[in-house]
Chains A and B, each alone.
Chain A
Amino acid sequence: MREAMAPLGSMMLSSAADLGGRIIAIFARGVRTLQLGRRVLLPSALALALMFGWEFGTRAAHLSSMIIVPPSAVFAVLTASYGILLQQAVPTIVETLIGFALAAGIGIVLGTTLMLFRRVRQALYPHVLTFQLIPKIALAPLFIVWFGVGPTSRLSLAVFMAFFPVVIATIAGLLSADRSAVRMANAMMASSWQTFISIRVPYALPHIFAGLKIAVTMAMIGVIVGEFVTAQAGLGYIIMMASSGGDTALTFAAIILLCLFGLALYGAVALGEWLVERRMGVTVTSGEF
Protein backbone atom coordinates (compact mmCIF):
# COMPACT_ATOMS: atom_id res chain seq x y z
CA MET A 1 0.00 0.00 0.00
CA ARG A 2 2.79 2.37 0.86
CA GLU A 3 4.58 1.33 -2.30
CA ALA A 4 1.50 2.28 -4.31
CA MET A 5 1.27 5.64 -2.63
CA ALA A 6 4.98 6.41 -3.06
CA PRO A 7 4.89 7.95 -6.56
CA LEU A 8 2.34 10.49 -5.35
CA GLY A 9 4.73 12.21 -2.98
CA SER A 10 7.76 14.43 -3.70
CA MET A 11 11.11 12.99 -4.75
CA MET A 12 12.60 12.85 -1.26
CA LEU A 13 9.49 11.58 0.39
CA SER A 14 8.94 9.09 -2.36
CA SER A 15 12.34 7.47 -2.00
CA ALA A 16 11.95 7.38 1.79
CA ALA A 17 8.51 5.84 1.49
CA ASP A 18 9.82 3.44 -1.13
CA LEU A 19 12.53 2.29 1.22
CA GLY A 20 10.02 2.01 4.08
CA GLY A 21 7.63 0.07 1.87
CA ARG A 22 10.33 -2.29 0.78
CA ILE A 23 11.37 -2.89 4.39
CA ILE A 24 7.76 -3.55 5.35
CA ALA A 25 7.35 -5.93 2.40
CA ILE A 26 10.47 -7.84 3.33
CA PHE A 27 9.34 -7.92 6.94
CA ALA A 28 5.87 -9.17 5.96
CA ARG A 29 7.37 -11.88 3.77
CA GLY A 30 9.59 -12.91 6.66
CA VAL A 31 6.61 -13.12 8.99
CA ARG A 32 4.71 -15.19 6.45
CA THR A 33 7.62 -17.60 6.01
CA LEU A 34 7.96 -17.72 9.76
CA GLN A 35 4.27 -18.58 10.15
CA LEU A 36 4.62 -21.35 7.58
CA GLY A 37 7.82 -22.48 9.25
CA ARG A 38 6.17 -22.58 12.65
CA ARG A 39 3.92 -25.40 11.49
CA VAL A 40 7.01 -27.47 10.70
CA LEU A 41 9.52 -26.01 13.12
CA LEU A 42 7.51 -26.14 16.35
CA PRO A 43 6.56 -29.84 16.18
CA SER A 44 10.07 -30.77 15.05
CA ALA A 45 11.57 -28.76 17.89
CA LEU A 46 9.24 -30.47 20.33
CA ALA A 47 10.21 -33.92 19.03
CA LEU A 48 13.92 -33.06 19.20
CA ALA A 49 13.59 -31.62 22.70
CA LEU A 50 11.76 -34.74 23.88
CA MET A 51 14.42 -36.98 22.34
CA PHE A 52 17.26 -35.01 23.96
CA GLY A 53 15.43 -34.85 27.27
CA TRP A 54 14.82 -38.60 27.16
CA GLU A 55 18.40 -39.37 26.15
CA PHE A 56 20.14 -37.18 28.71
CA GLY A 57 17.49 -37.56 31.39
CA THR A 58 17.84 -41.32 31.46
CA ARG A 59 21.64 -41.04 31.43
CA ALA A 60 21.76 -38.43 34.15
CA ALA A 61 19.25 -40.20 36.40
CA HIS A 62 21.18 -43.50 36.16
CA LEU A 63 17.94 -45.43 35.80
CA SER A 64 18.13 -49.17 35.40
CA SER A 65 18.17 -50.23 31.75
CA MET A 66 15.23 -52.46 32.60
CA ILE A 67 12.97 -49.53 33.44
CA ILE A 68 13.80 -47.15 30.63
CA VAL A 69 16.54 -46.97 28.04
CA PRO A 70 17.79 -43.90 26.14
CA PRO A 71 16.84 -43.57 22.46
CA SER A 72 20.43 -44.30 21.46
CA ALA A 73 20.15 -47.76 23.06
CA VAL A 74 16.90 -48.42 21.19
CA PHE A 75 18.56 -47.33 17.96
CA ALA A 76 21.51 -49.60 18.71
CA VAL A 77 19.15 -52.57 19.10
CA LEU A 78 17.32 -51.60 15.92
CA THR A 79 20.54 -51.60 13.92
CA ALA A 80 22.09 -54.61 15.64
CA SER A 81 19.16 -57.02 15.45
CA TYR A 82 17.12 -55.66 12.55
CA GLY A 83 17.36 -59.06 10.87
CA ILE A 84 15.42 -60.90 13.53
CA LEU A 85 13.05 -57.97 14.03
CA LEU A 86 12.18 -57.85 10.34
CA GLN A 87 11.80 -61.62 10.29
CA GLN A 88 9.33 -61.37 13.17
CA ALA A 89 7.60 -58.43 11.48
CA VAL A 90 6.71 -60.55 8.44
CA PRO A 91 3.92 -62.63 10.06
CA THR A 92 2.48 -59.55 11.75
CA ILE A 93 2.43 -57.57 8.51
CA VAL A 94 1.10 -60.42 6.38
CA GLU A 95 -1.68 -61.25 8.85
CA THR A 96 -2.68 -57.60 9.17
CA LEU A 97 -2.77 -57.12 5.40
CA ILE A 98 -4.79 -60.29 4.75
CA GLY A 99 -7.12 -59.50 7.66
CA PHE A 100 -7.68 -55.97 6.40
CA ALA A 101 -8.22 -57.09 2.81
CA LEU A 102 -10.74 -59.76 3.86
CA ALA A 103 -12.57 -57.36 6.18
CA ALA A 104 -12.69 -54.68 3.48
CA GLY A 105 -13.88 -57.09 0.78
CA ILE A 106 -16.50 -58.89 2.85
CA GLY A 107 -17.59 -55.65 4.50
CA ILE A 108 -18.17 -53.76 1.25
CA VAL A 109 -19.96 -56.71 -0.38
CA LEU A 110 -22.19 -57.31 2.63
CA GLY A 111 -22.86 -53.59 3.07
CA THR A 112 -23.93 -53.30 -0.57
CA THR A 113 -26.13 -56.39 -0.29
CA LEU A 114 -27.82 -55.02 2.80
CA MET A 115 -28.36 -51.70 1.04
CA LEU A 116 -29.96 -53.37 -1.99
CA PHE A 117 -32.33 -55.69 -0.12
CA ARG A 118 -34.41 -53.82 2.36
CA ARG A 119 -35.86 -56.84 4.16
CA VAL A 120 -32.41 -58.36 4.64
CA ARG A 121 -31.19 -55.01 5.93
CA GLN A 122 -34.06 -54.77 8.40
CA ALA A 123 -33.32 -58.27 9.66
CA LEU A 124 -29.54 -57.94 9.93
CA TYR A 125 -28.72 -54.29 10.55
CA PRO A 126 -29.64 -54.12 14.27
CA HIS A 127 -27.40 -57.14 14.87
CA VAL A 128 -24.54 -55.57 12.90
CA LEU A 129 -24.91 -52.38 14.96
CA THR A 130 -24.85 -54.33 18.22
CA PHE A 131 -21.74 -56.20 17.14
CA GLN A 132 -20.13 -52.90 16.20
CA LEU A 133 -20.65 -51.62 19.74
CA ILE A 134 -19.59 -54.61 21.82
CA PRO A 135 -15.91 -55.04 22.74
CA LYS A 136 -15.02 -57.61 20.07
CA ILE A 137 -11.56 -58.08 21.54
CA ALA A 138 -13.34 -60.25 24.11
CA LEU A 139 -13.61 -62.99 21.54
CA ALA A 140 -9.84 -63.53 21.33
CA PRO A 141 -9.90 -66.52 23.74
CA LEU A 142 -12.82 -68.05 21.83
CA PHE A 143 -10.91 -67.91 18.54
CA ILE A 144 -8.05 -69.74 20.26
CA VAL A 145 -10.49 -72.48 21.29
CA TRP A 146 -11.74 -72.79 17.73
CA PHE A 147 -8.63 -72.24 15.62
CA GLY A 148 -5.74 -72.98 17.96
CA VAL A 149 -2.75 -70.72 18.49
CA GLY A 150 -1.79 -70.53 14.80
CA PRO A 151 -2.22 -67.66 12.35
CA THR A 152 -5.85 -68.61 11.62
CA SER A 153 -7.05 -67.47 15.03
CA ARG A 154 -5.20 -64.15 14.78
CA LEU A 155 -6.50 -63.61 11.26
CA SER A 156 -10.08 -64.35 12.34
CA LEU A 157 -9.80 -61.92 15.22
CA ALA A 158 -8.43 -59.23 12.89
CA VAL A 159 -11.20 -59.75 10.34
CA PHE A 160 -13.85 -59.85 13.04
CA MET A 161 -12.63 -56.57 14.53
CA ALA A 162 -12.15 -54.74 11.25
CA PHE A 163 -15.23 -55.93 9.40
CA PHE A 164 -18.13 -54.15 11.15
CA PRO A 165 -16.94 -50.55 10.66
CA VAL A 166 -16.69 -51.23 6.91
CA VAL A 167 -20.22 -52.70 6.69
CA ILE A 168 -21.76 -49.82 8.61
CA ALA A 169 -19.81 -47.18 6.67
CA THR A 170 -20.80 -48.77 3.35
CA ILE A 171 -24.51 -48.84 4.21
CA ALA A 172 -24.46 -45.33 5.62
CA GLY A 173 -22.56 -44.07 2.57
CA LEU A 174 -24.82 -45.71 -0.01
CA LEU A 175 -27.91 -44.41 1.77
CA SER A 176 -26.44 -40.91 2.06
CA ALA A 177 -26.88 -40.17 -1.66
CA ASP A 178 -28.64 -36.91 -2.32
CA ARG A 179 -32.36 -37.66 -2.73
CA SER A 180 -32.90 -35.06 -5.40
CA ALA A 181 -30.00 -36.51 -7.41
CA VAL A 182 -31.54 -39.98 -7.19
CA ARG A 183 -34.93 -38.57 -8.19
CA MET A 184 -33.40 -36.76 -11.11
CA ALA A 185 -31.73 -39.97 -12.27
CA ASN A 186 -35.10 -41.70 -12.04
CA ALA A 187 -36.73 -38.94 -14.03
CA MET A 188 -34.05 -39.27 -16.69
CA MET A 189 -34.89 -42.97 -16.97
CA ALA A 190 -31.55 -44.15 -15.62
CA SER A 191 -31.54 -47.83 -14.79
CA SER A 192 -31.12 -48.69 -11.14
CA TRP A 193 -27.62 -49.94 -11.98
CA GLN A 194 -26.73 -46.58 -13.57
CA THR A 195 -28.13 -44.72 -10.57
CA PHE A 196 -26.14 -46.95 -8.29
CA ILE A 197 -22.82 -46.50 -10.09
CA SER A 198 -23.05 -42.83 -10.95
CA ILE A 199 -24.81 -41.45 -7.88
CA ARG A 200 -24.79 -43.79 -4.92
CA VAL A 201 -21.18 -44.99 -5.21
CA PRO A 202 -19.61 -41.51 -5.41
CA TYR A 203 -21.64 -40.42 -2.40
CA ALA A 204 -20.61 -43.55 -0.52
CA LEU A 205 -16.87 -43.34 -1.16
CA PRO A 206 -15.96 -40.83 1.58
CA HIS A 207 -17.88 -42.92 4.11
CA ILE A 208 -16.30 -46.17 2.89
CA PHE A 209 -12.81 -44.73 3.15
CA ALA A 210 -13.51 -43.45 6.66
CA GLY A 211 -14.61 -47.00 7.51
CA LEU A 212 -11.50 -48.47 5.88
CA LYS A 213 -9.27 -46.20 7.96
CA ILE A 214 -10.88 -47.50 11.14
CA ALA A 215 -10.62 -51.05 9.77
CA VAL A 216 -6.87 -50.73 9.18
CA THR A 217 -6.32 -49.72 12.79
CA MET A 218 -8.65 -52.43 14.08
CA ALA A 219 -7.07 -55.21 11.99
CA MET A 220 -3.71 -54.27 13.41
CA ILE A 221 -5.05 -54.25 16.98
CA GLY A 222 -6.59 -57.66 16.36
CA VAL A 223 -3.32 -59.18 15.13
CA ILE A 224 -1.21 -57.61 17.90
CA VAL A 225 -3.57 -58.68 20.69
CA GLY A 226 -3.76 -62.11 19.07
CA GLU A 227 0.02 -62.29 19.24
CA PHE A 228 -0.06 -61.18 22.88
CA VAL A 229 -2.49 -63.97 23.73
CA THR A 230 -1.24 -66.83 21.55
CA ALA A 231 2.48 -66.04 21.91
CA GLN A 232 3.85 -67.84 18.85
CA ALA A 233 5.59 -65.36 16.61
CA GLY A 234 5.40 -61.79 15.40
CA LEU A 235 6.24 -58.35 16.73
CA GLY A 236 3.49 -58.56 19.36
CA TYR A 237 5.12 -61.74 20.63
CA ILE A 238 8.55 -60.01 20.69
CA ILE A 239 7.08 -57.10 22.68
CA MET A 240 5.45 -59.50 25.11
CA MET A 241 8.56 -61.65 25.61
CA ALA A 242 11.06 -58.78 25.71
CA SER A 243 9.03 -56.74 28.20
CA SER A 244 8.48 -59.68 30.55
CA GLY A 245 12.19 -60.51 30.25
CA GLY A 246 13.18 -56.96 31.13
CA ASP A 247 14.72 -56.24 27.71
CA THR A 248 13.25 -52.77 27.43
CA ALA A 249 15.45 -51.72 24.51
CA LEU A 250 14.16 -54.60 22.38
CA THR A 251 10.58 -53.85 23.46
CA PHE A 252 10.92 -50.26 22.30
CA ALA A 253 12.55 -51.33 19.03
CA ALA A 254 9.66 -53.68 18.24
CA ILE A 255 7.09 -51.03 19.22
CA ILE A 256 8.75 -48.49 16.93
CA LEU A 257 8.71 -50.94 14.02
CA LEU A 258 5.02 -51.66 14.65
CA CYS A 259 4.22 -47.94 14.79
CA LEU A 260 6.09 -47.28 11.52
CA PHE A 261 4.19 -50.10 9.89
CA GLY A 262 0.88 -48.82 11.28
CA LEU A 263 1.59 -45.35 9.91
CA ALA A 264 2.56 -46.77 6.51
CA LEU A 265 -0.61 -48.84 6.30
CA TYR A 266 -2.80 -45.90 7.28
CA GLY A 267 -0.91 -43.77 4.77
CA ALA A 268 -1.59 -46.36 2.05
CA VAL A 269 -5.35 -46.17 2.70
CA ALA A 270 -5.20 -42.36 2.73
CA LEU A 271 -3.27 -42.48 -0.55
CA GLY A 272 -5.91 -44.78 -2.04
CA GLU A 273 -8.56 -42.30 -0.92
CA TRP A 274 -6.69 -39.46 -2.57
CA LEU A 275 -6.26 -41.38 -5.84
CA VAL A 276 -9.93 -42.38 -5.98
CA GLU A 277 -10.94 -38.83 -5.13
CA ARG A 278 -8.87 -37.51 -8.02
CA ARG A 279 -10.15 -40.10 -10.43
CA MET A 280 -13.81 -39.80 -9.52
CA GLY A 281 -13.66 -36.05 -8.99
CA VAL A 282 -15.41 -36.29 -5.64
CA THR A 283 -14.37 -34.40 -2.58
CA VAL A 284 -13.62 -36.78 0.21
CA THR A 285 -14.16 -34.71 3.31
CA SER A 286 -14.56 -37.13 6.17
CA GLY A 287 -11.49 -38.70 7.65
CA GLU A 288 -11.41 -37.90 11.30
CA PHE A 289 -11.47 -41.07 13.29
Chain B
Amino acid sequence: MTSGSASQDKPIPEAAYALGLPLVLGVAVLVGWQLAVRLTGISPVIVPAPTDIVRSFGSIAGDLLHHGWATGSEALFAFILSVLFGVAAALLLGFSTLAFETFYPGLVVFQIIPKIALAPLFTFWLGIASTSRLSCAVFISFFPVTLATMTGLKRADVNALRLCQALGASRLQTFVSVQIPYALPYFFSGAKVAATMSIIGIVVGEFISANAGLGYYMLRAQSYGETAHLFAAILVLCCIGLFLYIIPVQAERWVRRWWWN
Protein backbone atom coordinates (compact mmCIF):
# COMPACT_ATOMS: atom_id res chain seq x y z
CA MET B 1 0.00 0.00 0.00
CA THR B 2 2.80 2.40 0.81
CA SER B 3 6.52 2.53 0.34
CA GLY B 4 6.93 -0.16 3.00
CA SER B 5 6.31 -3.05 0.60
CA ALA B 6 8.67 -1.77 -2.06
CA SER B 7 9.77 -4.23 -4.69
CA GLN B 8 13.49 -4.77 -4.40
CA ASP B 9 14.01 -7.14 -7.30
CA LYS B 10 13.19 -4.57 -9.96
CA PRO B 11 16.18 -3.31 -11.96
CA ILE B 12 15.14 0.37 -11.73
CA PRO B 13 16.10 1.85 -8.35
CA GLU B 14 13.50 3.70 -6.33
CA ALA B 15 15.43 6.98 -6.45
CA ALA B 16 15.16 6.97 -10.25
CA TYR B 17 11.38 6.86 -9.98
CA ALA B 18 11.30 9.62 -7.38
CA LEU B 19 13.40 11.87 -9.60
CA GLY B 20 12.35 10.70 -13.04
CA LEU B 21 8.55 10.58 -12.75
CA PRO B 22 8.05 14.27 -11.81
CA LEU B 23 10.48 15.31 -14.55
CA VAL B 24 8.74 13.17 -17.16
CA LEU B 25 5.36 14.52 -16.09
CA GLY B 26 6.60 18.12 -16.23
CA VAL B 27 8.07 17.68 -19.70
CA ALA B 28 4.94 15.86 -20.91
CA VAL B 29 2.69 18.67 -19.69
CA LEU B 30 4.85 21.30 -21.42
CA VAL B 31 4.97 19.34 -24.70
CA GLY B 32 1.23 18.64 -24.55
CA TRP B 33 0.56 22.33 -23.86
CA GLN B 34 2.73 23.40 -26.80
CA LEU B 35 1.13 20.89 -29.19
CA ALA B 36 -2.40 21.71 -28.03
CA VAL B 37 -1.88 25.43 -28.59
CA ARG B 38 -0.29 24.93 -32.00
CA LEU B 39 -2.81 22.32 -33.23
CA THR B 40 -5.99 24.05 -32.04
CA GLY B 41 -4.74 27.46 -33.10
CA ILE B 42 -6.13 28.99 -29.90
CA SER B 43 -5.54 32.74 -29.56
CA PRO B 44 -2.32 33.61 -27.68
CA VAL B 45 -4.40 36.07 -25.65
CA ILE B 46 -6.20 33.12 -24.05
CA VAL B 47 -3.34 30.62 -23.79
CA PRO B 48 0.14 31.40 -25.11
CA ALA B 49 2.39 28.48 -26.00
CA PRO B 50 5.36 27.77 -23.69
CA THR B 51 7.72 28.90 -26.45
CA ASP B 52 5.85 32.23 -26.67
CA ILE B 53 6.35 32.71 -22.95
CA VAL B 54 10.06 31.90 -23.17
CA ARG B 55 10.40 34.30 -26.11
CA SER B 56 8.61 37.05 -24.19
CA PHE B 57 11.26 36.76 -21.46
CA GLY B 58 13.76 38.11 -23.96
CA SER B 59 11.63 41.06 -25.05
CA ILE B 60 10.56 42.22 -21.59
CA ALA B 61 13.63 41.25 -19.55
CA GLY B 62 14.22 44.87 -18.54
CA ASP B 63 10.61 45.32 -17.35
CA LEU B 64 10.68 42.06 -15.44
CA LEU B 65 13.93 43.00 -13.73
CA HIS B 66 12.65 46.45 -12.79
CA HIS B 67 9.25 45.31 -11.45
CA GLY B 68 10.63 42.09 -10.02
CA TRP B 69 13.21 44.06 -8.05
CA ALA B 70 10.50 46.37 -6.67
CA THR B 71 8.32 43.44 -5.55
CA GLY B 72 11.19 41.25 -4.37
CA SER B 73 12.94 43.88 -2.26
CA GLU B 74 9.68 44.99 -0.64
CA ALA B 75 8.64 41.40 0.11
CA LEU B 76 12.06 40.61 1.60
CA PHE B 77 11.95 43.75 3.73
CA ALA B 78 8.41 42.96 4.89
CA PHE B 79 9.46 39.41 5.76
CA ILE B 80 12.44 40.60 7.83
CA LEU B 81 10.33 43.21 9.65
CA SER B 82 7.54 40.76 10.44
CA VAL B 83 10.02 38.22 11.81
CA LEU B 84 11.67 40.88 14.01
CA PHE B 85 8.37 42.29 15.31
CA GLY B 86 6.88 38.83 15.65
CA VAL B 87 9.76 37.50 17.74
CA ALA B 88 9.87 40.65 19.88
CA ALA B 89 6.16 40.33 20.64
CA ALA B 90 6.49 36.62 21.33
CA LEU B 91 9.35 37.23 23.78
CA LEU B 92 7.32 39.86 25.59
CA LEU B 93 4.33 37.54 25.86
CA GLY B 94 6.53 34.59 26.78
CA PHE B 95 8.16 36.48 29.63
CA SER B 96 5.22 38.34 31.11
CA THR B 97 2.10 36.46 32.19
CA LEU B 98 0.24 39.74 32.45
CA ALA B 99 1.01 40.64 28.83
CA PHE B 100 0.16 37.09 27.73
CA GLU B 101 -3.24 37.10 29.41
CA THR B 102 -4.03 40.57 28.08
CA PHE B 103 -3.00 40.20 24.47
CA TYR B 104 -3.29 36.51 23.62
CA PRO B 105 -7.06 36.34 22.81
CA GLY B 106 -6.77 39.41 20.60
CA LEU B 107 -3.81 37.89 18.76
CA VAL B 108 -5.75 34.70 18.06
CA VAL B 109 -8.73 36.67 16.74
CA PHE B 110 -6.47 38.74 14.50
CA GLN B 111 -4.77 35.59 13.29
CA ILE B 112 -8.08 34.13 12.12
CA ILE B 113 -9.79 37.13 10.52
CA PRO B 114 -9.13 37.85 6.83
CA LYS B 115 -6.62 40.67 7.34
CA ILE B 116 -6.20 41.14 3.60
CA ALA B 117 -9.52 43.03 3.72
CA LEU B 118 -7.62 45.94 5.26
CA ALA B 119 -5.30 46.34 2.27
CA PRO B 120 -7.30 49.19 0.63
CA LEU B 121 -7.32 51.02 3.96
CA PHE B 122 -3.52 50.94 4.12
CA THR B 123 -3.38 52.38 0.62
CA PHE B 124 -5.85 55.06 1.57
CA TRP B 125 -3.94 56.02 4.71
CA LEU B 126 -0.38 55.76 3.49
CA GLY B 127 -0.66 56.48 -0.21
CA ILE B 128 0.73 54.44 -3.07
CA ALA B 129 4.32 54.61 -1.84
CA SER B 130 5.98 51.42 -0.67
CA THR B 131 5.16 52.29 2.98
CA SER B 132 1.53 51.27 2.53
CA ARG B 133 2.39 47.91 0.96
CA LEU B 134 5.09 47.24 3.55
CA SER B 135 2.74 47.96 6.45
CA CYS B 136 0.04 45.82 4.90
CA ALA B 137 2.43 42.90 4.35
CA VAL B 138 3.93 43.16 7.84
CA PHE B 139 0.44 43.36 9.33
CA ILE B 140 -0.52 40.14 7.55
CA SER B 141 2.63 38.13 8.21
CA PHE B 142 3.48 39.23 11.74
CA PHE B 143 0.78 37.23 13.55
CA PRO B 144 1.87 33.73 12.44
CA VAL B 145 5.42 34.39 13.70
CA THR B 146 4.23 35.68 17.09
CA LEU B 147 1.70 32.93 17.70
CA ALA B 148 3.97 30.11 16.55
CA THR B 149 6.99 31.32 18.56
CA MET B 150 4.88 31.89 21.65
CA THR B 151 3.33 28.43 21.38
CA GLY B 152 6.85 27.03 21.29
CA LEU B 153 7.95 29.03 24.34
CA LYS B 154 4.90 27.87 26.28
CA ARG B 155 5.23 24.23 25.28
CA ALA B 156 8.73 23.74 26.67
CA ASP B 157 9.00 20.41 28.45
CA VAL B 158 7.75 20.75 32.03
CA ASN B 159 10.30 18.24 33.30
CA ALA B 160 13.15 20.21 31.78
CA LEU B 161 11.80 23.39 33.36
CA ARG B 162 11.52 21.71 36.78
CA LEU B 163 15.05 20.37 36.44
CA CYS B 164 16.28 23.91 35.78
CA GLN B 165 14.48 25.15 38.87
CA ALA B 166 15.91 22.35 40.97
CA LEU B 167 19.39 23.16 39.72
CA GLY B 168 18.89 26.78 40.70
CA ALA B 169 18.99 28.19 37.18
CA SER B 170 18.02 31.82 36.78
CA ARG B 171 15.01 32.81 34.73
CA LEU B 172 17.27 33.96 31.90
CA GLN B 173 19.33 30.76 31.94
CA THR B 174 16.19 28.65 31.78
CA PHE B 175 14.93 30.79 28.95
CA VAL B 176 18.10 30.49 26.87
CA SER B 177 18.87 26.85 27.46
CA VAL B 178 15.38 25.31 27.56
CA GLN B 179 12.63 27.53 26.22
CA ILE B 180 14.43 28.92 23.18
CA PRO B 181 15.56 25.51 21.88
CA TYR B 182 11.99 24.27 22.29
CA ALA B 183 10.59 27.31 20.53
CA LEU B 184 12.93 27.23 17.52
CA PRO B 185 11.05 24.68 15.36
CA TYR B 186 7.79 26.53 16.07
CA PHE B 187 9.44 29.85 15.21
CA PHE B 188 10.68 28.51 11.89
CA SER B 189 7.28 27.12 10.93
CA GLY B 190 5.82 30.55 11.69
CA ALA B 191 8.56 32.21 9.66
CA LYS B 192 7.72 29.97 6.70
CA VAL B 193 4.09 31.10 6.83
CA ALA B 194 5.31 34.69 7.10
CA ALA B 195 7.46 34.26 3.97
CA THR B 196 4.36 33.24 1.99
CA MET B 197 2.16 35.89 3.57
CA SER B 198 4.54 38.80 3.10
CA ILE B 199 4.66 38.30 -0.66
CA ILE B 200 0.84 37.99 -0.77
CA GLY B 201 0.59 41.29 1.09
CA ILE B 202 2.97 43.08 -1.28
CA VAL B 203 1.35 41.73 -4.46
CA VAL B 204 -2.20 42.51 -3.30
CA GLY B 205 -1.00 46.01 -2.39
CA GLU B 206 0.36 46.33 -5.91
CA PHE B 207 -2.93 45.09 -7.36
CA ILE B 208 -4.76 47.84 -5.51
CA SER B 209 -2.49 50.72 -6.25
CA ALA B 210 1.11 51.03 -7.35
CA ASN B 211 3.25 52.44 -10.10
CA ALA B 212 5.79 49.65 -10.05
CA GLY B 213 6.03 46.00 -9.05
CA LEU B 214 4.95 42.72 -10.55
CA GLY B 215 1.36 42.97 -9.27
CA TYR B 216 1.00 46.27 -11.10
CA TYR B 217 2.74 44.89 -14.18
CA MET B 218 0.53 41.77 -14.27
CA LEU B 219 -2.71 43.73 -14.13
CA ARG B 220 -1.43 45.98 -16.93
CA ALA B 221 -0.41 43.01 -19.08
CA GLN B 222 -3.82 41.44 -18.46
CA SER B 223 -5.70 44.56 -19.55
CA TYR B 224 -3.55 44.85 -22.70
CA GLY B 225 -4.17 41.20 -23.53
CA GLU B 226 -0.44 40.38 -23.33
CA THR B 227 -0.98 37.00 -21.73
CA ALA B 228 2.52 35.73 -22.55
CA HIS B 229 3.98 38.67 -20.59
CA LEU B 230 1.55 37.87 -17.78
CA PHE B 231 2.82 34.29 -17.62
CA ALA B 232 6.42 35.48 -17.63
CA ALA B 233 5.68 37.83 -14.73
CA ILE B 234 3.95 35.02 -12.82
CA LEU B 235 7.02 32.82 -13.28
CA VAL B 236 9.30 35.57 -11.94
CA LEU B 237 6.98 36.05 -8.98
CA CYS B 238 7.03 32.31 -8.29
CA CYS B 239 10.83 32.39 -8.27
CA ILE B 240 10.78 35.27 -5.77
CA GLY B 241 8.28 33.34 -3.63
CA LEU B 242 10.44 30.21 -3.65
CA PHE B 243 13.54 32.24 -2.82
CA LEU B 244 11.78 33.86 0.15
CA TYR B 245 10.60 30.47 1.37
CA ILE B 246 14.09 28.99 1.13
CA ILE B 247 15.44 31.61 3.58
CA PRO B 248 13.74 30.21 6.70
CA VAL B 249 14.22 26.62 5.49
CA GLN B 250 17.96 27.14 5.07
CA ALA B 251 18.23 29.15 8.29
CA GLU B 252 16.55 26.33 10.18
CA ARG B 253 19.05 23.85 8.76
CA TRP B 254 21.98 26.03 9.83
CA VAL B 255 20.61 26.62 13.30
CA ARG B 256 19.95 22.91 13.80
CA ARG B 257 23.47 21.99 12.76
CA TRP B 258 24.95 24.71 14.95
CA TRP B 259 22.84 23.60 17.92
CA TRP B 260 23.94 19.99 17.63
CA ASN B 261 27.63 20.90 17.72
Contacts and interface: CB of A to CB of B under 8 A. Distances in A.
B184 to A, nearest CB: 15
B120 A251 contact: yes
Contacts of B17: 119, 122
A221 interface: yes
Contacts of B230: 141-142, 145
Interface in B32-51: 45-46
A228 B114 contact: no
Interface string A250-275: 01001100110011001000000000
Given A140-B207, A144-B222, A127 B124 contact: no
A239 B120 contact: yes
B218 A141 contact: yes
Interface in A204-260: 217, 220-221, 224-225, 228-229, 235-236, 239-240, 243-244, 246, 248, 251, 254-255, 258-259
Give the interface size bracket for A toward B.
35 or more
Contacts of B119: 228
Q: Which secondary structure characterizes the binding site on chain A? A: helix
A195 interface: yes
B105 interface: yes
A157 B83 CA distance: 28
A47 B108 CA distance: 14
A159 to B, nearest CB: 16
Nearest to B45: A145
A137 B103 contact: no
Contacts of A122: 17-18, 21-22
Contact of A134 (B111, B231, B242): B242
A175 interface: yes
A133 B121 CA distance: 27
Interface residues of B, number: 65
A146 B46 contact: yes
A91 B220 CA distance: 26
Interface stretch (A10-18, A36-44, A54-62, A101-109): A36-44
B106 A288 contact: no
B238 A258 contact: no
Contact of A141 (B45, B186, B222): B222
B114 A138 contact: no
Given A134-B242, A135-B241, A138-B238, 11 more contacts: A118-B2, A122-B17, A135-B237, A141-B222, A144-B222, A145-B230, A195-B1, A196-B1, A224-B117, A244-B124, A288-B148
Interface of A: 38-39, 42-43, 45-47, 67, 115-116, 118-119, 122-127, 130, 133-135, 137-142, 144-146, 175, 179, 182, 192, 195-196, 217, 220-221, 224-225, 228-229, 235-236, 239-240, 243-244, 246, 248, 251, 254-255, 258-259, 262-263, 266, 288-289
17 contacts: A38-B101, A67-B125, A123-B25, A133-B245, A134-B241, A134-B242, A135-B196, A138-B203, A217-B112, A220-B114, A224-B114, A243-B124, A251-B121, A288-B148, A289-B144, A289-B147, A289-B148
